[in-house]
Amino acid sequence: MNWGNLPASMDPQDLAEVGCVMTAVTLGRRGLLRFAGLLSGAVAAGASGWVLATPVAAEADAAASETIANLSLNENPWGPSPRAQQAMLRNIASNHRYAGAETQALIRKIAELENVSPDTIVLAPGSSPLLRILGDQFATDLPGGELITATATFEVLFRAFAARGGDVVHVPLDDQLRFDLDAMASRIGSRTAGIYVCNPNNPTGTALSVDALRAFATEAARTAPVFIDEAYVDMMDDWPRSSCMDLARAGHDVVICRTLSKLHGLAGARIGFAVMRKERADRVRAAARSGGLPRMGVVAALASLDDEAFVTEARQRLRAGRLALERVVAEAGLEYAHGSQANYVYVNTGMPNERFVGLMAEQNVLVVRRSFQGYDNWNRICVGTDAEIEHCRRALARVLAA
């Protein structure tokens, strides 16, 4: 096919085939712009499905779900919003330019949505770089200090803290597999360099009362900085009340960190942000400084944040998927963490995690490989499409019967 002279209209099946071989060819600028225009039309036509909703693409997705169900990475299995897809397509031919102006627009957009000052916002390619930088800085600000967190939670910040020589205090989860705020408060003292809370927690999915967390963080921040990881907070049933952004807004020494990789379906585009005191933001921004953020991520984030209908529907679909996954686990007779508010369910499989991962892989279901401290027989299983959840149900039945 002559890529510089694509026809003005294409059959959906031909268009899908174009997408399959795109990486194997070199497009001229004119052909690339024409191709982007064609795909934009396909995205608009398939907006209700969020993806390029061609017959070939739909059949391929269904076949992939039957072949391998990837339930390991806490992704939005339906992908980004149509507006985000269109924004990325419009910007394909501009990827030779840094996204300086667009990045500033994204900062202004977040400032407007969260009612915070732009100079308190730090952007990064996903939230993990922010977790690493803050973990590093907490440790170097108080050499030999302690970071207080939970036994089973997301590891990036506390691993960065430990790598700098800090001592990590892992407080056991409570009997509902939530952060035990009272127990954590009892460990705060002169050696406390920082406190990390993930709400909802990864991997358990359990969430704290926002009032209890707000009271804890307000008091703890008098002694040491508090990092609240809100990667999944916008999935919660009581969103937006579930967020503690008001603490950062009020100037407490609290860092609120979010990502667009999860609910917004931009895991491959990598945009995260954190809000904190200006003086801390200046330090984090200096440490994070690089050649800039990926243009595709920035323009997709801008579009997705404006797509309220998509965000609402995504939250509803993920909740429905989570409830379906809980039913699968309950029908299998397995113990699990009740009340998950994220897009995964934490399950006691009754066997070492390494064995469970291997047995599920034999059934072409991918689940998280790593174990979390103190929970060697538990596994975090993520929400997938209906076909993937059904695939998981059948695989689980075979694994438990083996």
pLDDT tens for the chain, 402 residues long, are: 333 333 333 333 333 333 333 333 344 444 445 444 544 554 544 444 555 444 444 555 555 556 899 999 999 999 999 999 999 999 999 999 999 999 999 999 999 999 999 999 999 999 999 999 999 999 999 999 999 999 999 999 999 999 999 999 999 999 999 999 999 999 999 999 999 999 999 999 999 999 999 999 999 999 999 999 999 999 999 999 999 999 999 999 999 999 999 999 999 999 999 999 999 999 999 999 877 999 999 999 999 999 999 999 999 999 999 999 999 999 999 999 999 999 999 999 999 999 999 999 999 999 999 999 889 999 999 999 999 999 999 999 999 998
122 with 243, same domain?
Answer: yes
* Contact between residue 183 and residue 315 where contact means Cβ atoms under 8 Å apart: no
Lateral strand order in the sheet of 344-348 = 335-336, 344-348, 378-382
User: 313 lies in which domain range?
Assistant: 309-401
What residues contact 301, with CB distance under 8 A and at least 6 apart?
Answer: 84, 106, 260, 264, 266, 269, 271
Do residue 136 and residue 263 come from a single domain?
Answer: yes
Q: Are residues 273 and 315 in the same domain?
A: no
Domain end residue (candidates: 278, 305, 332): 305
Q: pTM value?
A: 0.86
Strand partners of residue 256: 228, 275
**Domain tally for the chain?**
2
| Within a domain: 326 | yes
300/318 same-domain check = no
CB atoms within 10 A of CB 370: 12
Give a yes or no: residue 375 inside a domain.
Answer: yes
Verify that 162 and 134 share a domain, yes or no.
yes
Domain identity same for 139 and 279: yes
Q: Which two tokens stand for residue 307?
A: 């797509």
User: 93 lies in a domain?
Assistant: no
Query: Do 173 and 152 form a contact (C-beta atoms < 8 A)?
Result: yes
Confirm whether 89 is domain-assigned.
Answer: no
